[in-house]
Structure 1
Amino acid sequence: MSEPAEPVDAAARRAVRPVVCYPPETLPPVDLPGFRAALDGAERIDVVMVPPREARCFMAPAGHFFRITSVGGPQVGDLNLWHARELGERFFSGKTRALHGTHVTSGCRLWSVLPYLRPMATVVEDSLEWYGRDEFGCGVHDVIGTRCDPYTNRLLSGGDYHHCCHSNLIRAFAATTGMPISEAEGYVHDVLNVFMCTGFDRQTGQYIMKASPVRPGDALTCFAEIDLLGALSACPGGDCSAQHSSDTAECWPLMVEILKPAALPEGWEQPPVNAYPRGHGA
């Protein structure tokens, strides 16, 4: 078949101005000053070290903070979140992307799946907020990528690799919940790529990555809006400058701290599940 001919009004069609699909202006405002005041002087009550090419789970009760920090060297991580008592409520990267854009930073919320659709956590501080967007259109902390996984790795390379973030998250989740691996895999979901520097190629539209600007001491701090079970994988790609399913990339640990504030932000309440009547989604 021949390639379709370009219509005479092609330029006019391309020139139509876009609109934002989900304008966020009507979302409840984020009280960043209140959250940051609560964070000042918060007490560290737990710390979880995530080894390179592995994942670990952590618990962040509602009204607490969790902080992910780079230690040792530049390292990216893949984050999953679940409601600690209702594991079916988990992080919805696609809706978070639709509401806040392809990359999150201070003031963005991390939303849960339908039919719950409520904030699970709010980003309060981001030491890499200065990065913004670079000349390639890349930014930090993306909700674009799906996590490196052994299935795609086999599809593209023909090899088997067992320390992909998907695999790491399954093992950590299974170890924490007591589920068998086969059951736990269904709970692992698309991630927040913490510290990863990514974007879309302007010519091909392909998902691209580059060396993360993260350095030891950089951190992403979030406020847990509900009781959270989290899992964080220290990606086998290290800073993801060239590859992400590899035993040759230099990798470093990540640290997760759980912080309890002395006082909660004034007026804060746990967000209720979405008000749309459940069971009517069809």
Structure 2
Amino acid sequence: MSKRFAMKLSTPEHAAPADAIARKSVPPVICYPVTTLPRPDLAAYRASRAGAEKIGEVIVPPRDGACFHVKAGQFFRISSIEGAQVGDLNLWSADLSERFYSGKTRALHGTHLSSGDRFWSSFPSLRPMATIIDDSLDWYGVDPDGGSVHDVIGTRCDPYTHALLSDGGQYHHCCHSNLTRALAAETGMSLAEAETQVHDVFNIFMCTGFTRDTGQYFMKASPVRPGDYMDIFAEIDLLGALSACPGGDCSSEHSSDSAACYPLKVEIFAASEPPRGWEPPARSSYDRSHGL
């Protein structure tokens, strides 16, 4: 925390107005009430998943990334297999015309995701790309520090911020670079082209929050252990990329060659029948006229 930032919070430069208490006492209003959003039928999803057959597997090496494909109506599981490890997940539609929109997902579901929450796609489609149907870490909740697991607030560790904060240091295994290399290898894109497709991530297994005094984004040791997993249903045909973060369990730092790091496993499952009542999600009904 910078001294200047701490000072601005504890000793503001301007005196509070006479009605300061009244202004601060105004009750908050939820920006995007989701009462009209259809809730996923988790029982139907889980029943379909229970009878699904494993059809593929990808192991993401430590400090590296890998891609995987999932068709609409299939399931994928991301799991810890050797040690406490967090991952950074990107999702695209199979044709790359849509990508995971972490900001809108956060606005609709909150800062951390779990069972029943969805991954929403970018404009102009804005539709569910995938649905979380099971989360072995849902017991964690919110800890005394305000931390929780599986966030959509962090942007992904990257070599640009690393260079900025380390006086020009070069590190090539940040999650941004891992995802870039993985996407380039999977699609045949150049690194420069693939990098433009990499976007803000879902930080699976990562324990994060905001400090109460400075409002800064923090991380702490992930509670994930081998055997922990998240099951996700593909609402549309997906291309995914997952990075096994070089911070390991993110208990001390990321962009590190010294942290203990472990692989992550992605398994793909195909069910004999789709979830009861399921239909592929429609794209946004907005007419895109933008007032003209």
Q: Counterpart of 2:34?
A: 24
- Where 1:16 maps in the other structure, the secondary structure is coil
Q: Counterpart of 1:119?
A: 128
Structure 2, unmatched stretches of 5+, are 1-11
- Where 2:85 maps in the other structure, the secondary structure is coil
Q: Counterpart of 2:63?
A: 53
Does 2:129 match 1:152? no
1:5-154 pair list within 5 angstroms: 5-85=15-95, 87-154=96-163
| TM-score of the aligned structures, taking structure 1 as reference length | 0.98
Structure 1 CA distance, aligned partners of 2:77 and 2:60?
13
Does 2:216 match 1:206? yes
Q: 1:279 to 1:245 in 2, by over 3 A?
A: farther
The letter of the residue matching 1:132 is G
1:203-282 pair list within 5 angstroms: 203-280=213-290
Alignment length (residue pairs): 280
Structure 1, unmatched stretches of 5+, are none
Offset, 1:279: 4.9
The letter of the residue matching 2:84 is P
| TM-score of the aligned structures, taking structure 2 as reference length | 0.94
CA deviations on 1:193-242 (whole Å, 9 max, x unpaired) are 00000001111110000000000000011000000000000000000001
The answer as to whether partners of 2:45 and 2:276 remain within 8 angstroms in 1 is: no
The letter of the residue matching 2:245 is C
Q: Report the identity percentage.
A: 66
Please report the RMSD computed on the Cα atoms of aligned residues, expressed in angstroms. Answer: 1.1
Structure 1 CA distance, aligned partners of 2:289 and 2:253?
43
Structure 2 CA distance, aligned partners of 1:281 and 1:232?
39
The answer as to whether partners of 2:175 and 2:244 remain within 8 angstroms in 1 is: yes
Offset, 1:178: 0.6
CA deviations on 1:143-185 (whole Å, 9 max, x unpaired) are 0000000000010112110000000000000011110001110
The letter of the residue matching 1:251 is C
Structure 1 CA distance, aligned partners of 2:215 and 2:61?
33
- Where 2:139 maps in the other structure, the secondary structure is helix
| Structure 1 runs (4+) greater than 4 angstroms displaced | none
